[in-house]
Amino acid sequence: MLDLSIRKKIVALVHQQVVPAIGCTEPICVALATAKATERLRALKNNDECPAHIEVKLSANILKNAMGVGIPGTGMVGLPIAVALGALVGKSEYGLEVLRDSNPEWVEKGKQFIAEERINISLASEEEFETRGVAKDEKLYVDIMVIAEDGTTANATIAHQHTHFIDCKQKPVEENQEEEVANEDSPLELNLHTVYEFASTAPIEEIEFINEAARLNMAAAQQSLEHNYGHCLGKALHRPLGRGILGDSIFSHVLMATSSACDARMAGAMIPVMSNSGSGNQGICATNPVVVFARENHNTHDELTRALMLSHLTAIYIKQHLGSLSALCGCVVASTGSSVGITYLMGGNYQQISAAVKNMIANLTGMICDGAKPSCALKLTTGVSTAVLSAMLAMQGECVTSVEGIIDDDVDRSIRNLATIGKDAMNETDRCVLDIMTSK
């Protein structure tokens, strides 16, 4: 078992990265920054007036991930309504649930705010990145300036992570100070074996909290079936035709539970999910396949708890190398986590879990991110279907070898190879995708 001090750091890290979110986290983090800037403006003015005008400067990846996704409870897609509601009804203290208090009345006010042309959205320039002390290649960047009728202004800037506010004149100020302090003295450097050892040996009471992810994300899947969200992939799999093709199996149930929750989230349902590393889809992908497999494989509650922690912490570990946003679809990372969790539930040991990771990387590396949108349900379903296949192969002693493609004998090097491709090599792909999306 790992030392208590290391376990505390890991628990703090998971608490920081696995949090509830309502709506796609890219437009929601723009709404969060808008809410914070508006609160600062109101403090300066000592009143409750709304901004007369809002200037929004974004990195390309934020723009890409916010263009086509539904905003919770609005029936609308894209950034303008997220910005408007962030100013009108958002509360920064809610974090990624910033729009929790929105209702149809506020949505109508938001539509009027947009109609009055009070919002200007544009890409941030390299000079603006430099002014804020942010690297010019930073993929997660949101800068909001709110302007009152009398010209008074207030700013809020988020960078690096979806809830990480920075100030150009100071060091970054982390909203979650407690977790940051917990990791401050000596940085926590994870590897897959540490992830496995923690999840499989930590006292169960220390990791029991991860089951809240199961409660939220499985509830989202169930609620999704009550409406027609997105492309209705989850419902299509539930219907007689879907069952006739895929059967009534553990495999089909895993796909149903994952795609259903994603359908609702990407269509803008006012349904909270537990996110992972700043992404609700990653949280769904790391949770629902593991929960369904454990239920139908008759695993114990403790086994499910450990598998969920293993899944989520594996995804966090990979994202540490890849970054919060990249050209690589996040389902590649999160479904690798679920494959690890499923392998554990099958009775897999560390060697078999490592094999599952290598099988995943050999298959899914290169899947592009072309923004958050309803069709993300298709990608999540591809990811989790591969997760099950990779786990099955690993349990049979089959593993992609180091003579095949980007896989290394060392599983952690294989993970770094994946991250190098997604973070560096696919940058030109990212630019091409954005050009295509913005020129349609």
Q: Distance between CA 144 and CA 55 in Å, rounded?
A: 6
Q: Under a CB-based contact definition with an 8 Å cutoff, are residues 13 and 269 in contact?
A: no
CB atoms within 10 A of CB 406: 17
Residue 6 covered by a domain: no
End-to-end CA distance of the chain: 54
Q: Under a CB-based contact definition with an 8 Å cutoff, are residues 223 and 271 in contact?
A: yes
What is the reported pLDDT for 187? 64
Task: Name the H helices within 297-375.
Answer: 301-322, 330-345, 350-364
CB atoms within 10 A of CB 158: 22
Residue 10 covered by a domain: no
Q: Distance between CA 318 and CA 314 in Å, rounded?
A: 6
Do 27 and 151 belong to one domain?
yes
What is the reported pLDDT for 274? 97
Do 137 and 206 belong to one domain?
no
Residue 184 covered by a domain: no
Do 218 and 244 belong to one domain?
yes
Long-range contacts of residues 163-167, Cβ cutoff 8 Å, at least 24 apart? 163/19, 163/29, 163/32, 163/95, 163/96, 163/278, 165/33, 165/36, 166/132, 166/133, 166/134
C-alpha R_g of the chain: 21
Q: Under a CB-based contact definition with an 8 Å cutoff, are residues 339 and 391 in contact?
A: yes
Final residue belonging to a domain, choices 118, 150, 177? 177
pTM: 0.90
What is the reported pLDDT for 183? 42
Do 53 and 122 belong to one domain?
yes
Do 167 and 194 belong to one domain?
no
Do 126 and 272 belong to one domain?
no
b/e 317-344 (16+ beta carbons within 10 angstroms → b): bbbbbbbbbbbbbbbbbbbbbbbbbbbb
Do 72 and 207 belong to one domain?
no
Pull the structure tokens for residue 405.
């493609």
Backbone angles phi, psi at 38, to 5 degrees: -65, -40
Torsion of CA 60, 21, 95, 6, to 10 degrees: -100
Q: Distance between CA 217 and CA 292 in Å, rounded?
A: 11
Q: Distance between CA 199 and CA 189 in Å, rounded?
A: 16
Final residue belonging to a domain, choices 149, 177, 205? 177
What is the reported pLDDT for 440? 82
Ordered mean pLDDT values, 10 residues apiece, the chain (440 residues): 94 96 93 96 92 96 89 92 97 95 96 96 91 89 96 95 74 41 59 98 98 98 93 95 93 97 93 94 97 98 98 97 90 97 98 98 95 94 97 98 97 97 92 89
Residue 9 covered by a domain: no
Do 193 and 173 belong to one domain?
no
DSSP SS3 for 162 = coil
- For residue 156, the enclosing domain spans 23-177
DSSP secondary structure letters along 52-110: SEEEEEE-HHHHHHHSS-EETTTTEESHHHHHHHHHHT--GGGGGGTTTT--HHHHHHH
Residue 207 covered by a domain: yes
User: What total of structural domains would you count in the chain?
Assistant: 2
Residue 342 covered by a domain: yes
Final residue belonging to a domain, choices 177, 211, 236? 177
Q: Distance between CA 254 and CA 334 in Å, rounded?
A: 14
Q: Distance between CA 95 and CA 404 in Å, rounded?
A: 43
Residue 18 covered by a domain: no
Do 260 and 197 belong to one domain?
yes
Beta bridge partners of 54: 119, 146
CATH of the domain at 277: 1.10.4100.10
Nearest Cα residue to 96 out of 41, 27, 50: 27
Do 339 and 234 belong to one domain?
yes
Do 263 and 153 belong to one domain?
no
CATH of the domain at 58: 3.30.1330
Do 212 and 161 belong to one domain?
no
* Residue 78 DSSP symbol: S
What is the reported pLDDT for 132? 87
What is the reported pLDDT for 167? 67
Residue 289 covered by a domain: yes
Q: Under a CB-based contact definition with an 8 Å cutoff, are residues 39 and 90 in contact?
A: no
